[in-house]
Amino acid sequence: MKKYFSILSDMENRIRERQYVPGQKLPSVRSAAESYGCSVSTIARAYAELEKRHVVYSVPQSGFYVVEKPGDWREERDGTEINFATVLPDLDVFPYLDFQHCLNRAIDIYKYDLFTYGDPKGLESFRRTLASHLAEDQVFAKPERIIVTPGAYQALEIMARMPFPSGKKTVLVEQPSYDGYLRLLETEGIPVSGIPRTGEGINLAELERKFRSEDIKFFYTMSRFHNPLGTTYSAEERKAIARLAGKYDVYVLEDDYMADLGADRKFDPIYAYDTSSHVVYVKSFSKIIFPGLRLGAIVLPDRLLQTFHAYKVYPDTSLLSQAALEVYIKNGMYERHKHKICSLYASRMQALNEAVERYNEAGLIEVPDIRSGIYMPFKLQPTVNVDRLIKRLADRNVNVVSDKAYYLSDYLDREKFLRISISQTKPEQIAAGVKAIIEEIKRGGNW
DSSP 21: -
Read off the pLDDT band of 263 (50, 70, 90).
low
3-state helix, strand, coil in the chain (%, to 5): 45, 15, 40
Backbone φ and ψ of 25, nearest 5°: -80, 135
Confidence of residue 78 (pLDDT cuts 50, 70, 90): low
HEC secondary structure over 114-175: HHCCCCCCCCHHHHHHHHHHHHCCCCCCCHHHEEEECCHHHHHHHHHHCCCCCCCCEEEEEE
In the predicted model, what is the mean pLDDT of residues 305-314?
90
Least confident of 117-121, 230-234, 349-353, 377-381: 117-121
Q: Is the peptide bond before 176 cis (omega within 30 degrees of 0)?
A: yes
Long-range contacts of 61-64 (CB under 8 A, 24+ apart): 62/25, 63/25, 63/26, 63/28, 64/25, 64/26
- Closest alpha carbon to 333 in 78, 128, 119, 53: 53
d(CA 421, CA 123): 34
Type and span of the H or E element at 267: none
Average pLDDT over residues 354-382: 95
pLDDT single digits (tens) 2-32:
688 888 888 888 887 778 877 788 899 888 9
* pLDDT for 99 beyond 60: yes
Question: What is the predicted pLDDT for the residue at 101?
Answer: 84
What would the pLDDT profile of 202-216 be if each residue is shown by its tens digit?
Answer: 999 999 999 999 999
Closest CA to 160 of 150, 149, 172: 172
> In angstroms, rounded to a whole number, what is the distance separating the alpha carbons of residues 182 and 192?
9
Q: Which of 42-56, 160-174, 247-261 has the lowest mean pLDDT?
A: 42-56
**pLDDT reading at 375 higher than 70:** yes
pLDDT at 113 exceeding the cut of 90: no
Q: Which domains does the chain have, with CATH numbers?
A: 2-76 (1.10.10.10), 82-93+335-444 (3.90.1150.10), 96-330 (3.40.640.10)
Q: What's the confidence (pLDDT) of residue 298? A: 97
- For the segment 262-267, the average pLDDT, to the nearest whole number, is 67
Average pLDDT over residues 134-158: 94
Average pLDDT along the chain: 89
Residue 91, pLDDT > 80, answer no
Confidence band (pLDDT; 50, 70, 90) for 110? confident
Asked if residue 316 has pLDDT above 80, the reply is no
Q: What is the pLDDT of residues 392-415, one digit of tens each?
A: 999 999 999 999 999 999 999 899
Residue 73 clears pLDDT 50, i.e. is over it: no
Average pLDDT of span 309-329: 87
- Measured CA to CA, the distance from residue 303 to residue 217 in angstroms comes to 13
How many other C-beta atoms can be found within 10 angstroms of the C-beta atom of residue 2? 7
pLDDT at 223 over 80: yes
Report how far residue 273's alpha carbon sits from residue 269's, in angstroms, rounded to the nearest whole number. 7
Return the axis-axis angle of helices 96-110 and 319-330, rounded to nearest 10°. Answer: 110
The continuous run of DSSP H or E covering 406 comes out as none
Q: Confidence class of residue 98 from pLDDT cuts 50, 70 and 90?
A: confident
Question: Are the C-beta atoms of 439 and 223 separated by less than 8 Å?
Answer: no
Beta bridge partners of 284: 296
Output the pLDDT for position 260: 83
Say if residue 177's pLDDT is above 70: yes
User: Is pLDDT larger for residue 370 or for residue 287?
Assistant: 370
Split at pLDDT 50, 70, 90, the class of 77 is low
Residue 11: per-residue pLDDT? 87
From CA 129, how far away is CA 332, in angstroms rounded? 12
